[in-house]
């Protein structure tokens, strides 16, 4: 079904942020196009695509249930390279929700989360937009020594410290938790915006 044929109730902007090479574009491609490329190159600037999720209106007297209704999510995947950081303010401006991504076996990417978190707080129209923490490449965890893993207690401490709205280990390769994280973020954005609906 083309966008023009959908009954779109709400439109949101989602930004995907994190260090370069953590797998943001793989997450973006798996969700938006159900594709995966093992040889994905570093993003140059920004990737953008719109997706649609079916919703159930909670006020059925006002919104008859016989017609399917949708949320349109405009998803922006931003390069994590330093040379593109000048674009961040415009990129984040107007965002309704964010995914903060780190690599499950890369402590450096985890330690850089604060920089990206602060960019959201400084540049989003509303600094309290929903943010979900995402660990990418979870399929690799069983293939490398445990000392290389970003530890769960560090992750839990960070979620509590920054009062994030959730956490998902994901694998774009295995399509694990990819749809789930976008559905959860969309429900959080609906709730945050006061819209009486939820994702089906």
Q: Answer whether residue 168 is part of any domain.
A: yes
Per-residue confidence in pLDDT tens, the chain, 200 aa: 455 568 999 999 999 999 988 999 999 999 999 998 776 655 556 789 999 999 998 876 655 556 789 999 999 998 656 666 667 778 899 999 999 999 999 999 999 999 999 999 999 989 899 999 999 999 999 999 999 999 999 999 999 999 999 999 999 999 999 999 999 999 999 999 999 999 98
Q: Answer whether residue 200 is part of any domain.
A: no
Q: Answer whether residue 199 is part of any domain.
A: no
35 closest CA partner among 47, 17, 44: 47
134 closest CA partner among 165, 157, 161, 108: 165
Q: Which domain holds residue 13?
A: 3-193
Look up the CATH number of the domain holding residue 70. Answer: 3.40.50.300
188 with 132: CB under 8 angstroms? Answer: yes
Q: Answer whether residue 198 is part of any domain.
A: no
- Taking the alpha carbons at both ends of the chain, their separation in whole angstroms is 17
d(CA 49, CA 148): 33
Query: Is pTM beyond 0.85 here?
Result: yes
Q: How many domains does the chain have?
A: 1
Sheet containing strand 197-199, edge to edge, reads 167-169, 131-136, 97-103, 7-18, 69-78, 46-57, 197-199
């Amino acid at each position: 079904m083309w966008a023009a044929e959908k009954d779109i109730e709400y439109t949101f902007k989602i930004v995907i942020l994190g260090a370069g090479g953590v797998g943001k574009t793989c997450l973006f491609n798996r969700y938006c196009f159900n594709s995966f490329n093992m040889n994905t190159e570093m993003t140059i600037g920004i990737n953008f695509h719109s997706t649609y999720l079916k919703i159930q209106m909670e006020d059925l007297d006002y919104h008859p249930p016989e017609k399917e209704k949708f949320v349109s999510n405009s998803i922006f995947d931003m390069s994590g390279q330093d040379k593109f950081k000048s674009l961040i303010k415009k990129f984040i401006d107007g965002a309704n929700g964010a995914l903060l991504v780190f690599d499950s076996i890369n402590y450096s990417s985890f330690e850089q989360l604060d920089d990206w978190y602060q960019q959201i707080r400084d540049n989003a129209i509303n600094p309290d937009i929903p943010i979900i923490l995402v660990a990418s490449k979870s399929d690799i965890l069983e293939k490398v020594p445990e000392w290389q893993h970003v530890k769960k207690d560090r992750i839990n401490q960070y979620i509590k410290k920054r009062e994030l709205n959730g956490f998902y280990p994901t694998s774009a390769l295995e399509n694990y938790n990819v749809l789930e994280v976008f559905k959860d973020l969309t429900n959080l954005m609906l709730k945050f915006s006061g819209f009486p609906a939820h994702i089906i």
